[in-house]
Amino acid sequence: MKTLTVSVVTPDGPVLEDAFEMVSCKAESGELGVLPGHIPMVAPLTISAVRLKKEGSSERIAVNGGFLEVRPEKVTILAQSAEKPSEIDVERARKAKERAERRLQTKQEDVDFKRAEMALRRAINRLDVFENNF
């Protein structure tokens, strides 16, 4: 089976570099599936899980936005942050989710709802990647 080299990079450095048969992720324009030989493209990513398939198994990485660059034999994901399930602090993510939910439920005018909503989406994504990987 042909593979793609997949690199996930954040401002803090590389998170993953390995060969996979398929990459699935959520771009702002919708769900994308990338196989070896895909046409070159660049797409902005949403806060979501990147799913990587190889030899009948799959891995997931929690990605906080960024960009996907596709070339026929390589996929590069430049993300603001990215975490493998083993790196996710579940308790911290749960607390962040609860904090964001409380902020969104209050009707105070000083609450930045957009920021709270983004924090909630990041926390839910981390928990989802952690829980669906084991």
Overall pTM > 0.85:
no
Q: Domain locations in the chain?
A: 4-83, 89-131
Q: What is the DSSP string of 58-101?
A: EEEEEEEEEEEEEETTEEEEE-S-EE-GGG--HHHHHHHHHHHH
How much of the chain, in percent, has pLDDT values that exceed 70?
95
Pick 116 or 47 by higher pLDDT. Answer: 47
> For the CA atoms of the chain, what is the radius of gyration?
16
Fold entry, domain 4-83: ATP Synthase; domain 1 (2.60.15)
> Do 4-83 and 89-131 show the same overall fold?
no
CATH class of 89-131: mainly alpha
